[in-house]
Chain A
Amino acid sequence: MPHAMRRSSLPGMRAVSITCVLLAACFGKSNIDIVTPTNPPVEPIPAGPEKCLLPGAQPVKALLRVSNYEYQQLAADVLGAPVSDATFARWTPVPQVFGYDTMSQSNIDSQSLTEQLRTAEQLTARLLATPELLALCPAPQAPLPAACTQKAAYDPLGDFSQTQGAACWSFLDSAGAAMAFEAANSRWESPDHSTLIWSTGMHPGGALDAVRRWLAPQDGSIILSGEFKDVDPGGGDGVTVFIKKNGAELWRATLPNASGDTFELRLSVKRGDTFDFVVNRTGDPYYDTTAFNAAIAFTEARNTRGWTWDNCARPIVERVAGRMQRRPLRAGELADYQALYATAIADATTADLASPTWAALETVVQAALATPSVMYKAEVSGGLDEAERGYEIASRLSLFFCSSYPDDELWSLAAAGSLSDPKVVEAQANRLLTRCLTRFASNFAGQWFAYRARIDAPDSDALTPSMRREAASMFASLIEGQAMPVDLLSPGYTLVDQPLASHYGLPFGDPDGSPVHRIATTLRGGLFTQGYFLTSTAKGSDFKRVIDRGIWTLNRVLCRQLPPLNAATREEIASSFAAIDPKLPLSEKMKLHRSKGSTCIQCHSQMDPIGLALEKYDAQGLWRDAYPDGSPIKNDFQLDGVNVSDPMELASEVKQSFDFRECVVTQMLTYGLQRVMNDEENECVSQSIAYPIDHTQPTLRDVVIQSALTSLKLTGGLK
């Protein structure tokens, strides 16, 4: 367990709690409590424990995986555009360690790697459509002039004309001689007058085949589809039809009298390639009128003329791979990419692809998006040279705040060796917290309070995204507003969108058209009063709701670790539960935990008062004064000897506990250290940040910055 169970008693000093009576009065009509939109006054901070010295650095010893969320942000940043959760729907979830998925060591299995490669392929297509990335390459040289009229698509019917070579079509016989146009019948004829081509069809001669030839105007890839059909049912032995590319047969069909066949071919073409559509008489040329129709569509026409490894692929690889793996490429790595590029060019040339250069770019970019240097955080785990240490600090700061690679400013400072100066690092931490506040609120606080959306499972309840947004917006807003850590508990306002405001019964209005409004209220917006917490902990019975809310609060808000249940305790729970009269009111059921005088009391003395204090909010997170059957909501239990009869009293008590103030820091350090806190650190580091030596009251923002910097120091990243 990371944190020893700490059960410091709550200090005696207490703020005056809002009573149930007052609350009921406030709620009387509209269930809304409007107060002036200012933060409540901050209560005096209790004197902290004695200052301790920061323990010596202990590096991260494990090789950690990039979390799926981090990969999503890396990809979004390298693309310059969001990447949807759906892109990662098939990715294997990365386990959370002490609540955070930023320090998992679980192995990657073949299904997971297959999905990573599939995603990398999708991202590559998007990335190579980004003008900013292609701007790293010189403007492609002008393509050679088209060999004939260049169009996106061709069809023999629409393109039919009286001029040889018009729209890239020629009309020949199988001896290679050009036919002559016969205006009276609007058709092309050979001198034998039986080898014919007209707009919708062809006819073979007694000795010659009819040949419709299409000349590729430019390099590219095409889809060639269409149909030949012997349409004269009069008799004869049908026809033989085929398609040739530069004289070599691609496709053939023998069509009995009055039958047809279709074709669909995907091909690469080079400028000047010829495609012949040929009708042959089979045995005899009788009744051989053959309908012919086709479509030739270019699917891609990449112009990469003049692009080489040095002038194009290399800068692209350096940009993409460097950013994704959060440090510049080393010489050997670059050589590996160059070798991969050369192999891809060779393979694409062998396969006769339209643009081997483009294909090779796709290959190296896909590799750069999926390579293990991206997927593992070697920089956190001692995988860098001394000369690269600046990138470790840059990457860790960036991962802490932005869940992504260092931005240009930070990258430059790392390159210049400026990050050995703690002041520079602190300034950067401040800058990044402002720049990446939304991401930090999502990846850190979103895991702390579990409101971050699951990348592998969309929400089924329509209101859940609104509730997630409320929680994230509140955390970001409190940092932005220089609020104190205790303001997390009762900020005096909430930030809601229209559906959530309506759910809560709050007035929304639309003064500025923004999707999220700040609404002043003492009953919403705090850690215990946000919709996501209240509903996500209320998925089971009323009994379970009380327990879950209690456990959650102890674990995440107070960092009090309950002992794991052993087999004997489980059995006791099962037998006690079976004996409970289901008709008893909830508070009476809860009393059994203490009347029994058994081991139950050890944990339930803490869980139950918290859970019961929160019973004023139902499973939908809505306020209520009584249970649906009219019975009163009661909490006769004390938390650490203090009455906490309702959510406000609970918040007020928690605000003053050492446990809460330290827990805020402990959570940030756990997230930032990316390893388990050791005993020495556990003893004093959280305290040293929660209660600075100068007795100033740190804001939530201060705590975040100090936690980030301390994490770097404690793992040896920052001296």
Chain B
Amino acid sequence: MISRRSVLSWMGAQLALPLALGAREASAQAVAPRKRFIGVFFPNGAYMPGAVNGSWNWSEALQPLVAAGFQQNAMILRGLQQTFPGVDPHWQNCAGFLSCQPILLGNPGITKCGKTVDQYVADLRPAPLRSLEIGAPYYHIHPLTDHPGYSNDYLNRISWQTDDKSRAPIPDPKQLFEKLFARDPGGVAAIRYQQAKKKSILDHLSKDATRLAARLPAAQKPVLESYLDTVRDVERELMAMTPASCTPMFGAPTDDFSTPERNYVKRYQLMNQMVVLAMQCGLTNAATFMYGPSSSFITFSESLGAGANHHGSAHHKGDPALIARVHRIMQIETGLLADLLQKLTAANLLDETLVLAGSDMSDGDAHSTINLPMVLCGKGPDLKWGQEIATGGRPTSDLHLEILQLMGVPGVTSFGGGPMASTGQPLGIRV
């Protein structure tokens, strides 16, 4: 039974909402805010020559979603753009995929972008694990040979907890299994001791960081303040994870994931399974997947045989063989997305979850950043599932802002930065 007090507090929250948002919500079908968000990044664009729609449609690139019965759980967004002049979109639109903020260039030892959609959700809906980040093995480019002043982190990170702290993804399913399900051996007392021990050590790290900060010039303190936040995150994770948190019905992965190529598809299928279980258990409410770093050089050799790598295929220069390879790579990746949706459905989570999948560019050959390939997935009567939504060249930040509103994130009235700041106008994704 809902108490009078909770009703009043809910009403108070509604009154505090910005007028525009309140009005918009009133016009939408009444659907409770979604609880979970998953961002999915696929690198190197799609086959969209000239940044027109190309194969980014239900019968080609997104055919695996249709085949798995998810067309009515997805909508294609047309015409979104993320264009920051003078900066390579591989770096910019990977790091800024979920924040629409410009990356800081100059000193690769200092990275800066913006807080991402998944992290807003993590803040709003705290869980034992703040969020889960899934990725491929770290991709290195020698920054002096290729892009001086660019940090490789920008190619390898889509989740940013703050504008100066990205979250490293886990590339290996074994590592994720360990993080989610492995427990210290021994009885209850031994487990309790291990937890107490880890907490004491974390307390010690905090003390040391505080001591250190007191001795250093003011300009250096933010580094240690960020470190202290990290210690607190790890501590919260430690205290909230208990042996009974979540028990998988499957064993630890044993396949070889030592290179980006090995067991590529299985890598993400296992990750999908574990992330969905973690969400089902209430371990986390936010996750991101990277199907490769930006400028991914993965060849998909196990699925497609030897041939050009992803980046080389994306720069197809009209070569039909390379274009065919791009198609097949895209279908492998949207197949992984379909697998994720299947698992969310099986866990009865899809109606509480929004999944946004997209890329850093549209026409990978031309590095075009307009009409980005984007697909929003989920369930519920409030959104125009199964349709193509024409946005008419709006910044991607408008979509992200609307997602935050659908997630019930309060107090965010604008999103993105520089030329890609949100306009605040609805995109037309709601019924």
Contacts and interface: CB of A to CB of B under 8 A. Distances in A.
Contacts of B366: 574
- Looking at chain B, what size class is its interface with the partner chain? 35 or more
Given A347-B196, A372-B227, A106 B208 contact: no
Contacts of B207: 336
A564 B106 CA distance: 11
Give the interface centre of B137, B164, B179, B204 by most chain A CB atoms within 10 Å.
B204
Contact of A106 (B110, B146, B186, B215): B110
B223 A105 contact: yes
Contacts of B258: 458
B192 to A, nearest CB: 6
Contacts of B242: none
Contacts of A352: 189
B10 interface: no
Interface in B214-242: 215-217, 219-220, 223-224, 226-227, 230-231, 233-234, 237
A264 to B, nearest CB: 10
Contacts of A351: 189-190, 192-193, 196
Nearest to B143: A96
B390 interface: no
Contacts of B243: none
A266 B220 contact: no
B197 A344 contact: yes
Nearest to A63: B220
Contact of A381 (B165, B220, B227, B234): B220
Interface string A77-120: 00000000000001011011111000111111111111001000
B220 A109 contact: no
B190 A109 contact: no
Contacts of B231: 113
B187 A109 contact: no
Contacts of A450: 142
B144 A555 contact: yes
Nearest to A347: B196
Nearest to A561: B148
Interface in B128-158: 130, 133, 137-138, 140, 142-149, 151-153
A63 B216 contact: yes
A376 interface: yes
A376 B212 contact: yes
A33 interface: no
Contact of B204 (A266, A371, A555): A371
A595 interface: no
Contacts of B197: 344, 347, 359, 362-363
Interface in A650-665: none
A343 interface: yes
Nearest to A330: B211
Interface residues of A, number: 77
Given A1-B149, A340-B204, A370-B205, A378 B234 contact: no
A430 B107 CA distance: 32
A90 B149 CA distance: 25
Contacts of A457: 137-138, 140
A556 to B, nearest CB: 7
A548 B217 contact: no
B233 A371 contact: no
Contacts of A382: 216-217
A627 interface: no
B167 interface: yes
B166 interface: yes
A383 B215 contact: yes
Contacts of B237: 110, 114
Contact of A109 (B110, B138, B146, B167): B167
A632 to B, nearest CB: 27
A592 to B, nearest CB: 16
A454 interface: yes
B348 interface: no
B279 to A, nearest CB: 18
Give the interface centre of A351, A366, A540 by most chain B CB atoms within 10 Å.
A351
Give the interface centre of A106, A552, A676 by most chain B CB atoms within 10 Å.
A106
Nearest to B232: A110
A54 interface: no
Contact of B200 (A267, A363, A371): A363
B234 to A, nearest CB: 5
A68 B137 CA distance: 16
Nearest to A92: B168
Contacts of A570: 88, 367
A548 B192 contact: no
Interface string B180-201: 0000011101101100111011
Contact of A95 (B108, B220, B230): B108
Contact of B186 (A266, A548, A552, A578): A266
B342 to A, nearest CB: 27
B148 A109 contact: no
B259 interface: yes
Contacts of A556: 144
B115 to A, nearest CB: 13
Contacts of B423: none
B167 A111 contact: yes
Interface in A248-302: 265-267
A577 B227 contact: no
Interface string A564-585: 1011001000100110000000
B411 interface: no
A428 interface: no
A404 to B, nearest CB: 20
A569 to B, nearest CB: 10
A296 to B, nearest CB: 16
A187 B109 CA distance: 75
B153 A1 contact: no
Given A110-B234, A351-B193, A372-B209, A105 B86 contact: no
Contacts of B142: 96, 99, 450
Contacts of B110: 105-106
A96 B137 CA distance: 17
Contacts of B164: 107
A86 to B, nearest CB: 10
B85 interface: yes
A460 interface: yes
A232 interface: no
Given A333-B208, A367-B204, A266 B187 contact: yes
B193 to A, nearest CB: 4
B309 to A, nearest CB: 10
A641 interface: no
A456 B139 CA distance: 10
B205 A107 contact: no
A590 interface: no
A266 B212 CA distance: 40
A371 B193 contact: no
B93 interface: no
A107 B220 contact: no
B148 A106 contact: no
A83 B138 CA distance: 21
B187 A372 contact: no
Given A333-B208, A564-B147, A108 B187 contact: no
Given A336-B207, A336-B211, A370-B201, 13 more contacts: A62-B220, A93-B138, A96-B109, A97-B107, A105-B223, A107-B165, A110-B234, A112-B230, A266-B185, A344-B200, A564-B148, A570-B367, A574-B365
13 contacts: A92-B168, A95-B109, A97-B108, A104-B108, A107-B227, A110-B230, A117-B198, A266-B185, A266-B186, A333-B208, A372-B209, A450-B142, A578-B318
- Pick the 4 closest A-B CB pairs, nearest first: A351-B193, A104-B109, A63-B220, A97-B109
Interface of A: 1, 61-64, 90, 92-93, 95-99, 103-114, 117, 265-267, 332-333, 336-337, 340, 343-344, 347-348, 350-353, 359, 362-363, 366-367, 370-373, 376, 378, 381-383, 450, 454, 456-458, 460, 540, 548, 551-552, 555-556, 561, 564, 566-567, 570, 574, 577-578, 676
